[in-house]
Structure 1
Amino acid sequence: MTELKSILDEAARQGLISPDAGGRLLPFLTEHGVAVIETLPVSRADGQAWSDTETPRFVRGFHDVLITIGVVVALVGLWGLAPLYAVPVAIIVLSEILVRRQRLALPAVSLTIALFCWICLLMSQFFPPWTPTSQSFGAEATQFVAGFPIILGAYYARYRVPLSLALCIMSVLAFVLTLILRLVQWVSGNPAFFLDHPVVLALVALICALGLFMMALYFDLGDRLRRTTRSDIAFWLHLGAAPALLYSTVSLLSIGESGRIFDLANMSARTPVVVATVAALMLIGLVIDRRAFVTSGLLSLGVAIFGVVQEGNATIDTYIFTTLIIVGAIVLIIGTGWMPLRRLVLRALPPAIASRLPPG
């Protein structure tokens, strides 16, 4: 019954039925014996069940790829001529045709990204988020971020693109972050408070990153079999939550004598912190069955390994290729052994928790 309700809710969100009709259909279908039958996973040659629950729904075929290439080329041309005025008109027209009428997934993703870039251009014209001499988080940063959730939320309400809702949620959290930073500055009475106390800045960033991760889990746990667009929204949120957690955690643990944060060079000099953080993210990714969550940390892991080999006085060619070999080996090990590793992790979890996660 729970799965049937989620399907009816998804139909209402896509405008196929009204919410009232969905509420009336649920008891009617249940009384008449209608139920959702869980499809069995594909079996491997050795007889063990294998399931891949993270197939990206925005990649459906080469037709979508061809249309997306045309969309990107056309928008790039318009961007070079009149980015502020012509691009939004083209995005709306193409969204009406390709997204609302034809329901093409990959073009919808490209149009959402184009809209996000246009919002950046629009807001920077009126509210530059920072100046070279600024030492504080002023009203401009808050005003710059405020436009993103409004426009992206309106776009999602019209076209129901999962990426637009994910970006809207991220921008809301970024807006909250700017408000918190300004509030702390106001309470302290010091405009350069975060320059003097970088640990507080890293801690606030970590709290917002955890909030983004919890939002991703909210959408994920609401669709453990990943049959609705809730799973697609969670995919994009996890893609943003992983690097946010990585950089905020490492920055909090790696602030040294210089007091600098969000600095890749500073992170590579503290390789054990980076490696431990990436390992924790990989474990979390295994538990929630999100390869995208794991992949987001591999770039920083490569930077950390690069720093270790470089400090060992190896030649440039040696430590570049050694870094590539190590990171590639980790990717291959995780990729080929994902399902066996995940089954081991699920067995170690309490049944009450494992039952709410995607099946292994």
Structure 2
Amino acid sequence: MTELRSILDEAARQGLISSEAGGRLLPFLTERGVSVVETQKAVAAEEQAWSDTETPRFVRGFHDVLITIGVIVALVGLWGLAPLYAVPVAIIVLSEILVRRQRLALPAVSLTIALFCWTFLLMSRVFTPWTSEIGADLTEFVAGFPILLCVYYALYRVPLSLALTIMSTLALVLTLLLRLVQWLSGNPAFFVDHLGVLAAVAFLCALGLFATALYFDLGDRLRRTTRSDIAFWLHLGAAPALLYSAVSLLSFGEAGRIFDLANMSARTPVVVATVAALMLIGLVIDRRAFVTSGLLSLGVAIFSVVRKGNATVDTYIFTTLIVVGAIVLVIGTGWMPLRRLVLRALPPAIANRLSPG
């Protein structure tokens, strides 16, 4: 009531209303439940609540889990008994019931993944992309994914399907860029002789995927809409793409190979530095996907280093697990305090556009 009175007094001082009208308006508005909300505090509290979690909205209860198990089991059985072309029919029928009518989120994710796997199998049977050269077959193989996934998104609006459409489109752009470079060079085996160029082009496409994920993220900083879910899936794909392409580019030159997982010990500093950079990026944008995606490669690097010593197999396996597990616990338990420190170090113009911390 005090805040409402001060507002009416200020309006009277500015000549918007008379003092008598302000005195009559106060009880009139109060009787009808009109009150003043402290907007800045409310918004701050709301932002804090939204910044405490990174929860994509595809698990809403065990009912979704149960239905998803049924979907997976039924599709696997159908895949084994029916012809290949019967699977998309089943996916569409289930999508009409579970996605369009019942709006079940987790089954929608499983059906999208099933469509992706079916597209992969279909393209593998029609084309033969598994060759040493980057040719038309690889481009045609990749081209099927954005077409089918885009149609599925247009029908059912599943965030994962749009994210996969974007990722497969960028993969298609990558194959086209590689073929263009081959054509300009006049050498079909250009990338066999110039693996560094291949790593550089892949890194540019990974940056494009990351930029697209940031576009969706910055458009929903409080993470209330499906834009946040789309950004989650894009970040999940962008993080490993950035990791592997960056490590391949930075460590190129060892025996003419790029990013050989079987020989990681010499590249461990590069892997550790890249994973640390991804962790910092993850803190800045409040996406744990950037932390988790690098843990597998970090574990492989640590495994390779320990293996070079005289330790037994059990020793270096368990040592790797302890180190990686400790990193996960430190980052996981201290995520919010660490992120607040990082945000305070950023310029306000950048920090205010990010998810609040």
Is this a same-fold pair by TM over 0.5? yes
Q: Give the TM bin, normalised by the shorter chain.
A: 0.7 to 0.9
Identity %: 85
What is aligned with 1:332? 329
CA-to-aligned-CA distance 1:129-163 (integer Å, 9 cap, x gap): 123xxx32110000000111010000000100000
Q: What aligned pairs does 1:165-314 form with structure 2 within 5 A after superposition?
A: 165-314=162-311
CA-to-aligned-CA distance 1:107-127 (integer Å, 9 cap, x gap): 000000000000011111211
- CA RMSD across the alignment: 1.8
Distance in 1, matches of 2:264 and 2:202, equals 16
Distance in 2, matches of 1:246 and 1:83, equals 38
What is aligned with 1:6? none
Contact 1:100 1:159 in 2 (8 A): yes
Which consecutive aligned stretches of 4+ in structure 1 deviate over 6 angstroms post-superposition? Answer: none
Do residues 144 (structure 1) and 173 (structure 2) align? no
Q: Secondary structure at the match of 1:84?
A: coil
Q: Find 1:345's aligned residue among 331, 335, 342.
A: 342
Distance in 1, matches of 2:69 and 2:77, equals 12
Q: Secondary structure at the match of 2:45?
A: coil
What is aligned with 2:45? 40
Contact 1:222 1:230 in 2 (8 A): yes
Do residues 87 (structure 1) and 92 (structure 2) align? no
Contact 2:252 2:259 in 1 (8 A): no
Distance in 2, matches of 1:347 and 1:40, equals 18
CA pair 309-91 structure 1, distance change in 2 beyond 3 A: same
Question: Residue 324 of structure 1 aligns to which amino acid in structure 2?
Answer: L
What is aligned with 1:78? 78
Q: TM-score, normalised by structure 1?
A: 0.85
CA pair 146-99 structure 1, distance change in 2 beyond 3 A: same
CA pair 280-50 structure 1, distance change in 2 beyond 3 A: same
Question: Residue 92 of structure 1 aligns to which amino acid in structure 2?
Answer: I
Distance in 1, matches of 2:227 and 2:265, equals 36
CA pair 139-66 structure 1, distance change in 2 beyond 3 A: same
CA pair 50-109 structure 1, distance change in 2 beyond 3 A: closer
Distance in 2, matches of 1:284 and 1:235, equals 14
How far the C-alpha of 1:269 sits from its partner, in A, is 3.0
In structure 2, the gaps of 5 or more residues are 1-38
Question: Residue 245 of structure 2 aligns to which amino acid in structure 1?
Answer: S
Contact 2:51 2:222 in 1 (8 A): no
Question: Residue 61 of structure 1 aligns to which amino acid in structure 2?
Answer: G
How far the C-alpha of 1:301 sits from its partner, in A, is 0.6
What is aligned with 1:21? none
Contact 2:239 2:278 in 1 (8 A): yes
CA-to-aligned-CA distance 1:65-109 (integer Å, 9 cap, x gap): 000000000000011112511110110000000001100000000
In structure 1, the gaps of 5 or more residues are 1-34, 44-48
What is aligned with 1:315? 312
Question: Residue 118 of structure 2 aligns to which amino acid in structure 1?
Answer: W
Q: Secondary structure at the match of 2:125?
A: helix
Q: TM-score, normalised by structure 2?
A: 0.86
CA-to-aligned-CA distance 1:305-325 (integer Å, 9 cap, x gap): 111111122111111000000
What is aligned with 1:65? 65
CA-to-aligned-CA distance 1:29-60 (integer Å, 9 cap, x gap): xxxxxx997483599xxxxx794231121011
Rg comparison, structure with higher value: 2
Distance in 2, matches of 1:240 and 1:302, equals 19
